[in-house]
Structure 1
């Protein structure tokens, strides 16, 4: 019998527990430690979050595997959402994970124990692990898995400056999530200008909370204000450009890869990981050009060269025009551009990309270069539903939202608020930017303690945790740390595309479970 601890228990923790029981045939005891109130859902999919916050995947694209060791329906069967092109609420998926956890515990009543507590340290005692929390130490455990999601992280310089100014001048600086708290706070903002730092998926959730959440109505084309919305809503980012929506169901198959094209991309990635960064991106972009030409009739080489040097600059400087263009391409009203097509091809390839990126070794600088390329394409590949983009456009046309007002990171803040440009001052600032996966900025005591002990090391400066293909951290001695595992977005670089819900139930989690449950070498 093996005794295993899981620290952090959102969807990835649930997937790990299921995989451990499946791999071991039930011959494992699992203790879960998480202070959150919604085990298996975590804060991002909390069942009490407003239904306005959507998953960035339609029902037809949510393909979570069945548990394997017990009987429980897949999400598409369980969900009350039946339309294949509907993007379900995050809370809907969180409720599903809650129910799936309950079924897991009923099927394995002696195998899983939940503890609503925060682990603050982990120490190696002989060949097993002891965990520290407010009540003392627990253990020992044969293996410990960290699935922390987004651990506490030091604010960047801009947020630090704003925090000091907000405290001094009694201004409102808040986070996008939990959205239910934002929804309640926004009821007092009808006479204020609200700025939103960031212009990606989280921003669209915030916009919905500030408008539809305050009683506004949207019929798909025209927004009808309730009068409870903020006076103005000003999302901004470094380029001021909104993400392009994903294609609707009737349009999406046009971006499918042919078998030969997928094989060429896989071969290109394997080759790329053995090359330097520039050669690697040459190999990948060469494999991307043929499917883009087949779909658009255009040569993608010039676009890709620009993308590598200056991501996003090909979209021009008119965010409203880019928003309209994205909606037209997503609905099939306009032919897809090279950039839009590349983003959809990259999205279609991601499930295989995750597996191959993990399986093949490569230079660190090359892995980070490919990760950067993936991040740049997220403005297309991680796009929102057309309905969210259409709402944003309707709000612009109604005069409630202004895009591209401020793209300067050095925004002045004074007692009157955040000065975004010569005309606009915001009394409220919502931070909708998630901290980058940088191990050096993490302040969570469990993580910082393991870093101090040499058990966790960064893949590179400014990067996340270095891990093996089985999920074991590589310590200061360049060897895998026995009995310790780390999965999630803080491993980007060793892994790729970790923000997807499918990654939680993917190959890294399965590889961890197989490794952690193998017979002890003693």
Structure 2
């Protein structure tokens, strides 16, 4: 006998929210842009947002943002417009930007920090190698941290800086490592974003001895599984969370920047004049209303700042409803929904809201590190699937949905 239909159009056994990046958010320029200078409100999808009609050949474009999405835009507007990058004769590790006819004249990135992401060493190269014993010891200490410790953030960061100092040379390098983390950049970043980028590329190529930024980046990336485990579902105070977030923004610039070849291409664009860092070094940026320091020299603005993770600053209907109707809960000072080990939403008292699960960016700060794109760090989706499959097996294919 065939089973009767189990679901009507408005009945569901499970709801899984896995929306990834939000579309609209409180910080987007498009919300209040009133300048006569045209705005491209996003980078993606590139074919629509950065088409030749939207970003004409020969134009000067300010880019809000200087991180990975800016690099996506820069490559789309150079390589995607016919440019090529070739090795510079007699200069190992240096690329030349041979410009294409459809490129904009200049891109001017901007950011609040005024610096670029450091290049990541290629896997398997000497600059990517670290002392395994140092990492193993630090990993064990991170696993032993008490998640109820009111100073959890400070103790976690102390383990990261201690490991970085040992990777760099020894305990005597600890003050240098701490100073770099505290300032938010390696010392030569104060001489401009270009010099900091060149330093990271030279280190990645093995042309320069590693410094504190390299050591912090390697410690953070190698110990990130233990970091995410220690912080998952943490009830630490808003003050401790703010301490951790300030430090993690710096650590992630050192650890999770672009691949080496992408950083080399960016340097080639700087050398060719396709990328101008003057606004980045000056610390200027478009205001939400579209006020520019020098609008007469700008043809358009590209907003390359993605919606932040979590739910609290998103303007899309679903996250607003989840928050406004208190369907999900967010800890003070955090951005994402509280969830159980299988992604099931939790209320403010920690009780499960059965049949509603959230996975990925909507849970950031409760579950840590979705932007690493490392599926081995998080097990919520597998746990959710196993629970749903087990429930289906117990009930049988014809049992659910029948009237009592």
TM-score bin (small chain):
0.7 to 0.9
Residue from 153, 158, 171 that aligns with 1:285:
158
**Which one has the bigger strand percentage?**
1
Name the SS of the counterpart of 1:230 in structure 2: coil
Q: Does 1:384 align with 2:258?
A: yes
Residue in 1 that maps onto 2:286: 411
* Cα gap change, 1:195 to 1:291, in 2 (>3 Å): closer
Contact 2:61–2:298 (CA<8 Å) still a contact in 1?
yes
Specify whether residues 187 and 446 from structure 1 end up closer, same or farther in structure 2 by C-alpha distance, changes over 3 A only: closer
Query: What is the aligned partner in structure 1 of residue 400 from structure 2?
Result: none
Contact 2:134 2:163 in 1 (8 A): no
Higher RCO (CA-CA < 8 Å; seq separation 6+)? 2
Deviations 1:124-155 (A, max 9, x none): xxxx9x9xxxxx943331x2211110133333
Within 5 Å, give how 1:37-116 maps onto structure 2.
none
> Which of 225, 236, 240 does residue 110 from structure 2 map onto?
236
Instruction: Tell me the residue number matched to 1:106.
Output: none
CA distance in 2 between partners of 1:237 and 1:303 (Å): 25
User: Offset of 1:241 from its aligned partner?
Assistant: 1.3
2:199 alignment partner in structure 1: 325
Aligned to 1:499: 371
Aligned to 1:153: 24
Question: Please, what TM-score do these two structures have when normalized by structure 1?
Answer: 0.64
CA offsets 1:299-358 (integer angstroms, 9 cap, x no match): 443345445544237432411111111110111111111111210221122234334433
Report the alpha carbon displacement of residue 245 of structure 1 after superposing the two structures with TM: 1.0
User: Across the two proteins, how many residue pairs are aligned to each other?
Assistant: 380
Matched, 1:486 2:353: no
Check 1:303–1:178 CA distance in 2 against 1; reply closer, same or farther (3 A cut). Answer: farther
Does the 8 Å contact 1:355/1:507 carry over to 2? no
In 2 relative to 1, CA 462–502 (structure 1 residues): closer, same or farther, beyond 3 Å? closer
**Equivalent position of 1:24 in the other structure:** none
Contact map agreement 1:467 1:474 (CA 8 A) in 2: yes
Q: Which residue of 2 aligns with 1:398?
A: 272
Aligned to 1:271: 145
**What is the 5 A alignment of 1:458-473?**
458-461=330-333, 463-473=335-345
1:172 corresponds, among 39, 45, 68, to 39
Q: 2:315 aligns with which of 432, 443, 462?
A: 443
Matched with 1:204 is 71
The structural deviation recorded for 1:418 is 5.8
* In 1, Cα distance between equivalents of 2:348 and 2:106: 51
Question: Residue 255 of structure 1 contacts residue 295 of structure 1 at CA under 8 Å; is this kept in 2?
Answer: no
Say if 1:269 and 1:283, in contact at 8 Å, map to a contact too: no
Moved more, 451-460 or 392-401: 451-460
Once the two structures are TM-superposed, the CA of residue 229 in structure 1 deviates from its matched residue by 1.5
Distance in 1 separating the partners of 2:138 and 2:288: 51
User: Can you give the 5+ residue segments of structure 2 that lack an aligned partner in the other structure?
Assistant: 1-5, 88-94, 396-404
Residues 424 and 273 of structure 1: CA distance in aligned 2, closer, same or farther (over 3 Å): farther
CA distance in 2, matches of 1:259, 1:507: 27
Match of 1:194 among 51, 55, 61: 61
Q: Deviations over 1:37-89 (max 9, x none)?
A: xxxxxxxxxxxxxxxxxxxxxxxxxxxxxxxxxxxxxxxxxxxxxxxxxxxxx
Contact in 1 for aligned 2:131/2:167 (Cα 8 Å) = no
Runs of at least 5 residues in structure 1 that lack an aligned partner in the other structure: 1-127, 131-135
CA distance in 2, matches of 1:517, 1:204: 41
Shift of 1:462: 5.3
State the distance in 2 between where 1:492 and 1:300 align. Answer: 33
Structure 2 vs 1, CA of residues 261 and 232 (structure 1 numbering), >3 Å: closer, same or farther? closer
- 8 Å contact 1:285–1:304 — kept in the other structure? no
CA distance in 2, matches of 1:260, 1:340: 15
- 1:433 deviates by 1.1
Q: TM-score, normalised by structure 2?
A: 0.81
Distance of aligned partners of 1:272 and 1:425 in 2 relative to their CA distance in 1, 3 Å threshold: farther
